[in-house]
Each structure stands twice: as structure tokens, then as C-alpha cells.
Amino acid sequence: MNVLWAPWRLDYILGPKPDECVFCVPSHTGEDAERFILYRGRHNFVIMNRFPYNNAHLMVTPFRHVGCITELTPEEAHENMELLQSCVRILEQVFHPHGINAGLNLGESAGSGIAAHIHFQIVPRWNGDASFMAVFSETRVIPEHLRSTYERLKPHFDALG
């Protein structure tokens, strides 16, 4: 019998499913730690992916509910790029990845899981992270609990101001 330990998935499996967009966050910060929000800018925020492709998988998304990059205001787009750069710098400093995948899927057919609200993906990668588990078992191994990753990253995002 193969066993894969992923305790954070139980909250998703048993918990209520939101009717609203998961990227339309409240203006108050009381739920930020629970939602894994690392940073709030003026127009965008940084959030950890609850169901990551790899350890420390981050997303940058505008507060405003828009489905396409062409709908961003110049201010939103500028801050979004600044936050993408900050995410890469922080990931390099904290986790020392060998590479980083960064991108945006526009529309469901392009691979977006939540197409109605754009979100940029930043996924750190290490040589060999697609090991035998992914190749033979079609299973990904995330080596660190989400809460531990959040606690490691949060002080670096707090330092952004």
C-alpha cells in the first residue's frame, strides 16, 4: 500500500466550498494567515497556492476581479510586475531554487483553474524535483508543510513595506 501524507488537504476535502471567487479577498487582513496571503500591495497581493505544484508555489493577483491581462490598469500592471520580481528575489533568497517557472494562463482552455480572476504563477524548481514519484506514480511530493513555508516567507514579504 502506498501512503502519501498531505494533511492540509483534509480541510479542503471536508470543508465548505466557497461560492465566491477565491481570489476576491476581503479588504480586512484578519484572514490573511488562514488564506496564506503573504503581502498586500495597493492593487495586487501575493498568496501561496493551497494545492501547490511544488514547494513555495506563489501567485500574484490583482484585488480587482478581472479575467484578462488587458483589463489591468497601468498602475495594477506595474505593481503586479514589481511583485513578481519581489517574489522571485525572495524565493531565490529563502529556498535557493535552481530555476523558477513564472507565467499566466489566460482562459480555461489555456490551463487556468480559475479563469475569471487572473493570477500569475511563480513556481520554484530544483534539479530532480520531478523525481521517480512523479514519473512512476504520477504523484508530487511537497517536502514542507504549507504553514511552515508561510512562516518562512512571511517576514521577507513584511519587509517589503
In a domain, 7, yes or no: no
Q: What is the CA radius of gyration of the chain?
A: 16
Q: What is the pLDDT along the chain (161 residues), one digit of tens a residue?
A: 555 566 666 666 676 666 788 899 999 999 999 999 999 999 999 999 988 888 999 999 999 999 999 999 999 999 999 999 999 999 999 999 999 999 998 888 887 878 889 999 999 998 877 654 454 455 566 667 899 999 999 999 999 98
30/143 Cα distance (integer angstroms): 28
In a domain, 23, yes or no: no
Structural domain span for residue 55:
33-158
In a domain, 58, yes or no: yes
Catalytic residue among 96, 98, 119, 156: 119
In a domain, 4, yes or no: no
In a domain, 6, yes or no: no
- Give me the CATH number covering residue 62: 3.30.428.10
For residue 96, indicate whether it is catalytic.
Answer: no
81/6 Cα distance (integer angstroms): 32
In a domain, 59, yes or no: yes
- Please state the domain count of the chain: 1
